[in-house]
C-alpha cells in the first residue's frame, strides 16, 4: 500500500512537472509570436542592413540542393564568391531547410525569426535553471534577455543572422563556465556533462559568428587562466588543454578553410572603420526603447533596452545586498558596458592599432552587458508568478509598440520590382520585398556595398563591380554574348569564340583549386 501510494505521488509530480513545462513552452511561443506577427501580417520583408547578404547565403544552400557551397554561383552576382570560407555556414542549414519546405519565402523568413526567438527563450530559461535560479526568476531572465533592446536591434535593424544564431546558446556559457571554476554554484547534473556541453555550445557559436566566437574564447581563456592562478593544479591544466583540443577538432573544418582562404592571399578583409557609441547616446536609445529599419544610423538606434537599464540601476542601488557571484556579474556587466562605449580608449587604439577596426562597431559587446545584467537580476530578485506575468505584459506591450513602429517605417521602404544590375541597385538597407519579388534579393548583380567586398583580394576588390557585371571579354577586350547556368560549386558558360586566344571569365578566383573545361577538355587557367 505504501509503495502504491509513493508511485501515485511520483506520477502526480511528474504530471505536474510536465504540465508546467508545457505551459512555460506555450508562454514562450506566445511571447515570440507577439514580436513577429505584426510585420509578418504585411506580407513584406523589410530590409535590415545585412538582410541581402544573409538571404543570399541561405538561398545558395537551397539552390545548391544542400551541397556545401565552397563558392557561390547561384547568388552574389554568380561570380564564385568565396564568402563561406570566412563566414560560418553550417548553422544555416536548418534555416535553408525551412526555405525549402515552405513555399512562401516571406513565411519562411518570419518562421525563422519566430523559431530563433523561441529557441533563445528556451535556452536562456534552462541556463538560469542550471544556476539554481528559481523558476519564476528563470522565466524573467529568459524574457528580458530575449526581448532586450540589443537582440531586437540585431534581429530587425540589422538581420545579423550569425549573431542571432550565436545568441541562442550564449547564456549557456555562464553556468558551463562556473561548472569548471566554481561548481558549487550550478546543478550537480551539469557537472557530469560539462565538457561535451561546453564543446557543443562553443562549436555552435563558432559555426554561427566569428567575432562572437573570438570574444567568448577570450572571456573563457581569462576565466580559466585566473582559476589556474588562484588554484594551481597540473591535473586541471591538462584537463583544460584536453577541452581545447576537442574543441579545435570539432571546429577544424571551419578553421582549416578559413586559414587556407586567408593566409597568403592578400585578402582586404572587412571595411576598416570603427563606430564608437557615446554613453549618453546609448542611455537615450535605451530609454527610448525603439527599433527601426536598417536605413538609419545604427548609433542612433542601438540600445540595451529600457528594462535591462532599469535592472542595472536597481542592482547598483542594492550593491550591499549582493553576494560575491552577483557582484562579479555586475562588474562584468559594467566592464562590457565600458568596452561598448567611448568610456574605453577606443579613439587611442584606433589611431595606433589599425587592426582594432575589425570590430567595426563597439556596441557589439552590448549583448554581454544584457546577459550579465539580466542573469544578475534573476539571482537577486525573487519575483512571484504574478509579478512575472505583469512583467510579461509590459514586455509584450513594448514589443507591440516597437514592431508597429518598425512596420510603419518598413512600409515606406522601396519595393524591389526588378532584378538588380550594376546600373540599378536597390538602396542599401532601404527596400522591401514580397513573395513575388523575393528572388530579387539574391539574384542579379550584388555590388560591393553591404558585404560582398569584405573577403576579396586587393586586386579583386578594385575590379569587383566590373566582374559582378558578368561580362566575358576576349583577348582583344571584345564582349562575348553567352548563356550562363549556375550550379553547385560550378558555373557553365555557353558561347561561340570566333578567334584564338584567352577569354576573361567573370569569376573570382580564390585559394581553391579550379578546373576549367572547354567542350569537356581541361584547359589552362590563369588567376
Residue 338 has pLDDT above 90, yes or no: yes
Residue 8 has pLDDT above 70, yes or no: no
**Rounded distance, CA 96 to CA 161, Å?**
12
Q: Is residue 294 part of a domain?
A: no
**Rounded distance, CA 413 to CA 428, Å?**
11
Fill in the DSSP letter of residue 516. Answer: E
In tens, the pLDDT along 346-368 reads: 988 888 887 788 888 999 999 99
Cell numbers that stand for 344 in this block? 574605453
Average pLDDT over residues 375-398: 95
Number of structural domains (the chain) is 1
| E strands, 389-445, in order | 414-415, 431-433
Q: What percent of the chain has pLDDT over 70?
A: 96
**Rounded distance, CA 378 to CA 407, Å?**
32
pLDDT band at 463 (very low <50, low <70, confident <90, very high): confident
Q: Which residues contact 204 (CB under 8 A, 6 or more apart)?
A: 91, 165, 166, 168, 169
Residue 193 has pLDDT above 60, yes or no: yes
Pairing of strands 516-518, 521-523: antiparallel
User: In Å, how far are 307, 400, 464, 478 from 404, measured between CA atoms?
Assistant: 19, 6, 39, 53
Average pLDDT over residues 127-144: 96
Per DSSP, the residues of 3-15 read: HHHHHHHHHHHHH
Nearest residue to 166 (alpha-carbon basis) of 371, 463, 322, 357:
371
**Rounded distance, CA 205 to CA 208, Å?**
5
Q: Is residue 217 part of a domain?
A: yes
Q: Is residue 242 part of a domain?
A: yes
Q: Which domain holds residue 244?
A: 193-267
**Rounded distance, CA 250 to CA 202, Å?**
9
Calculate the dihedral angle through the C-alpha atoms of 441, 64, 76, 417, rounding to the nearest 10 degrees: -20
Residue 511 has pLDDT above 90, yes or no: no
- Render the burial of 297-318: b for 16+ CB within 10 Å, e for the rest: ebbebbbbbbbbbebbeebeee
Residue 386 host element (H or E):
helix 385-411
Residue 1 pLDDT: 47
In tens, the pLDDT along 396-442 reads: 999 999 999 999 999 999 998 888 877 778 888 899 999 999 999 99
Phi then psi for 424, rounded to 5 degrees?
-145, 85
Nearest residue to 63 (alpha-carbon basis) of 98, 90, 112, 100:
100
Residue that is written with C-alpha cell 564582349 in the block? 479
In tens, the pLDDT along 218-230 reads: 999 999 999 999 9
In tens, the pLDDT along 224-283 reads: 999 999 988 888 899 999 999 999 999 999 999 899 888 877 777 777 788 999 999 999
Q: Is residue 237 part of a domain?
A: yes
Nearest residue to 455 (alpha-carbon basis) of 35, 122, 80:
80
**Rounded distance, CA 158 to CA 366, Å?**
15
Angle at 28 between CA 25 and CA 30, to 5 degrees: 110
Residue 521 host element (H or E):
strand 521-523
What's the pTM? 0.93
CA 358 to chain CA centroid, Å, is 16
Residue 27 host element (H or E):
helix 2-40
Residue 510 near residue 265, CB atoms below 8 Å: yes
Residue 6 has pLDDT above 60, yes or no: no
Phi then psi for 155, rounded to 5 degrees?
-75, -50
Higher pLDDT, 408 or 525: 408
Fill in the DSSP letter of residue 154. Answer: I
In tens, the pLDDT along 470-509 reads: 888 887 778 888 888 999 988 998 888 777 778 888 888 8
Q: Is residue 518 part of a domain?
A: no
CA 286 to chain CA centroid, Å, is 21
Q: What percent of the chain has pLDDT over 90?
A: 63
Q: Is residue 516 part of a domain?
A: no
Cell numbers that stand for 144 in this block? 528580458
Amino acid at each position: 500500500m505504501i509503495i502504491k501510494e509513493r508511485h501515485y505521488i511520483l506520477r502526480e509530480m511528474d504530471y505536474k512537472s510536465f504540465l508546467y513545462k508545457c505551459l512555460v513552452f506555450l508562454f514562450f511561443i506566445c511571447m515570440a509570436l507577439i514580436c513577429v506577427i505584426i510585420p509578418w501580417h504585411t506580407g513584406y520583408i523589410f530590409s535590415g542592413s545585412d538582410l541581402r547578404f544573409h538571404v543570399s547565403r541561405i538561398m545558395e544552400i537551397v539552390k545548391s540542393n544542400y551541397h556545401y557551397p565552397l563558392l557561390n554561383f547561384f547568388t552574389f552576382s554568380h561570380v564564385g564568391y568565396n564568402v563561406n570560407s570566412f563566414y560560418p555556414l553550417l548553422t544555416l542549414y536548418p534555416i535553408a531547410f525551412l526555405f525549402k519546405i515552405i513555399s512562401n519565402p516571406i513565411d519562411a523568413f518570419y518562421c525563422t525569426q519566430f523559431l530563433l526567438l523561441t529557441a533563445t527563450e528556451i535556452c536562456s530559461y534552462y541556463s538560469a535553471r542550471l544556476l539554481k535560479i528559481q523558476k519564476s526568476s528563470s522565466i524573467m531572465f529568459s524574457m528580458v534577455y530575449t526581448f532586450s533592446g540589443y537582440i531586437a536591434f540585431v534581429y530587425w535593424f540589422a538581420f545579423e543572422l550569425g549573431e542571432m544564431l550565436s545568441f541562442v546558446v550564449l547564456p549557456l556559457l555562464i553556468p558551463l563556465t562556473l561548472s569548471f571554476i566554481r561548481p558549487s554554484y550550478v546543478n550537480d547534473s551539469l557537472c557530469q556533462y560539462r565538457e561535451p556541453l561546453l564543446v557543443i555550445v562553443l562549436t555552435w557559436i563558432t559555426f554561427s559568428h566569428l567575432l562572437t566566437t573570438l570574444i567568448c574564447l577570450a572571456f573563457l581563456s581569462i576565466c580559466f587562466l585566473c582559476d589556474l592562478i588562484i588554484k594551481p593544479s597540473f591535473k586541471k591544466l591538462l584537463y583544460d588543454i584536453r577541452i581545447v583540443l576537442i574543441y579545435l577538432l570539432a571546429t577544424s573544418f571551419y578553421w582549416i578553410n578559413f586559414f587556407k582562404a586567408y593566409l597568403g592571399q592578400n585578402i582586404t578583409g572587412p571595411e576598416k572603420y570603427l563606430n564608437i557609441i557615446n554613453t549618453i547616446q546609448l542611455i537615450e536609445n535605451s530609454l527610448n526603447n525603439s527599433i527601426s529599419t536598417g536605413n538609419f544610423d545604427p548609433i542612433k538606434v542601438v540600445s540595451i533596452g529600457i528594462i535591462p537599464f532599469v535592472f542595472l540601476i536597481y542592482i547598483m542601488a542594492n550593491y550591499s545586498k549582493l553576494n560575491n557571484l552577483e557582484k562579479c556579474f555586475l562588474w562584468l556587466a559594467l566592464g562590457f558596458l565600458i568596452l561598448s562605449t567611448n568610456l574605453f580608449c577606443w579613439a587611442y587604439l584606433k589611431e595606433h592599432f589599425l587592426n582594432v577596426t575589425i570590430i567595426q562597431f563597439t556596441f557589439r559587446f552590448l549583448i554581454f552587458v544584457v546577459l550579465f545584467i539580466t542573469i544578475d537580476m534573476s539571482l537577486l530578485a525573487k519575483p512571484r508568478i504574478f509579478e512575472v506575468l505583469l512583467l510579461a505584459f509590459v514586455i509584450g506591450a513594448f514589443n507591440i509598440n516597437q514592431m508597429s513602429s518598425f512596420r510603419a517605417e518598413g512600409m515606406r521602404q522601396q519595393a524591389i520590382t526588378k532584378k538588380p544590375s550594376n546600373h540599378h541597385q536597390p538602396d542599401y538597407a532601404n527596400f522591401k520585398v514580397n513573395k513575388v519579388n523575393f528572388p530579387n534579393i539574391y539574384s542579379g548583380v550584388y555590388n560591393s556595398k553591404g558585404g560582398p567586398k569584405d573577403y576579396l583580394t586587393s586586386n579583386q576588390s578594385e575590379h569587383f563591380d566590373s566582374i559582378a557585371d558578368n561580362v566575358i571579354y576576349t583577348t582583344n577586350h571584345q564582349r562575348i554574348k553567352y548563356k550562363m547556368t549556375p550550379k553547385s560549386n560550378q558555373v557553365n558558360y555557353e558561347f561561340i569564340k570566333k578567334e584564338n586566344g584567352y577569354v576573361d571569365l567573370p569569376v573570382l578566383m580564390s585559394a581553391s583549386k579550379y578546373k576549367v573545361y572547354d567542350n569537356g577538355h581541361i584547359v589552362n587557367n590563369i588567376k
